[in-house]
Structure 1
Amino acid sequence: MLRQKRNNKRTIVIAILLVCFSCGYFYTWKDALMREIAYPLQYDYMVRYYSYENHVHPALVAAVILAESKFREDASSKRGANGLMQIMPETGTWIAEQMGMKDFTPDKLRDVRTNVKMGTWYLAYLLKEFDGNQVLALAAYNAGRGHVDSWISKYGWKKDFSEIEKIPFSETREYVKVVLQNEEQYKKLYDF
């Protein structure tokens, strides 16, 4: 009987040690799993290059791409947006004009490099347009500049607006929240 109690205690101790080891093992791999599964960073070089070129934090660009396409280069929306950063053809044409791209056609939005280059430029443009306010810039990226301009006018929002819950479109509210959460995770998980 005494021997059986010792064996039971030994078994419990071994089980506890295995659980602790497993938890510690998982903890050391947690960030790697998060990077691989929840917050991938494909096209890392392009994201970093165009982010630095346009003075936008690469974590924000990666966060937009994750929200828009989950890094699927063939992504397209029912409304016609294309590519990693889900740019509408009309917006792409306007961006190309602003960037001085002479040979642009909407089909080029399917090219990863062109899409990331143009989407990052547009995000930088929106950040400048709204004095660095990420909430307003992201709302404009999702809902369009015209909507955000009208909300600013209608509701008297100031340049330091941060009340995401007051954004009238539920899709845009959720989009802004998700992108900002994604950005925080990208900052924690990657060396930007």
Structure 2
Amino acid sequence: MKKKLILILLILIVLGVALFIGKNDIYKYLYPKKYSNYVEFYSKEYNLDENLVYSIIKAESKFKEDAVSRKGAKGLMQIGDGTRDWAAEELKLEKVDIFKPQDNIRIGCWYLNRLYREFGDLDLVIAAYNGGSGNVKKWLADEEFSSDGENLETIPFKETASYVEKVKYNYEMYKKIYN
């Protein structure tokens, strides 16, 4: 009984806050556009929809610039050391601080652009960002996962399949809220 009462009070508080500050403001709180100067700049430079970049940052780190995954990926867009080094060489960057939002977002956008050029399809790009482009190529070549070699019917990595759905959901929310 006590738990039900607390739950009802919480729901009433949330509804009251929603009425006071507005539904759209709550959505903007849940789907923020932090680091917008870097996201907007590098999204344009690398021909990306900024809403996709925000969606990936939200899924990867929840906008925590000091985030480190259990696999060692770092920063807002969870850049691995290999990708960091590859990007630094390709972009001729002298020094990269992967925890610095500007560097992290620049490399993340550069990498997304590379994946778009390689795969050309949003689902494949998102899957490759999480599961690796080599794995996506293998899955496309395997009739168990792709009947036409161009689209994935099944993603064999549960984490990557969930990630694709999460990023696409975030992406739709960002587009609805901000467009």
Q: TM-score range by the shorter chain?
A: 0.7 to 0.9
- Answer whether contact 2:123 2:164 (CA < 8 A) is retained: yes
- Answer whether contact 2:142 2:149 (CA < 8 A) is retained: no
* Matching of residue 96 in structure 1 with residue 88 in structure 2: yes
Structure 1: gaps of 5 or more residues: 1-21
TM-score after normalising by structure 2? 0.84
**One-letter amino acid of the structure 1 residue matched with residue 26 of structure 2:** L
Within 1, Cα distance between the matches of 2:168 and 2:20? 24
Task: Find the residue that maps to 2:163 and give its secondary structure.
Answer: helix
Q: Could you say which residue in structure 2 is the equivalent of 1:145?
A: 133
TM-score after normalising by structure 1? 0.78
Identity of aligned residues (%): 39
Task: Find the residue that maps to 2:22 and give its secondary structure.
Answer: helix
Structure 2: gaps of 5 or more residues: 1-14
**One-letter amino acid of the structure 1 residue matched with residue 119 of structure 2:** F
2:54 aligns with one of 44, 62, 65: 62
2:69 aligns with one of 55, 69, 77: 77
Structure 1 residues 120 and 28, CA, compared in 2 at 3 Å: closer, same or farther? same
| 1:40-87 Cα distance to aligned partner (Å, 9 max, x none) | 111112111110111000000000000000000010111110000000
Structure 1 residues 157 and 55, CA, compared in 2 at 3 Å: closer, same or farther? farther
Within 1, Cα distance between the matches of 2:77 and 2:149? 25
Task: Find the residue that maps to 2:151 and give its secondary structure.
Answer: coil
- Give aligned pairs, total: 163
What value does the CA root-mean-square deviation take over the aligned residues?
A: 2.1
Q: Could you say which residue in structure 2 is the equivalent of 1:34?
A: 27
Comparing both structures, which one devotes a greater share of its residues to helix?
A: 1
Q: Could you say which residue in structure 1 is the equivalent of 2:115?
A: 126
- Provide runs of 4+ in structure 1 moved above 4 Å: 156-160
CA drift at 1:31: 1.0
Q: Could you say which residue in structure 2 is the equivalent of 1:5?
A: none
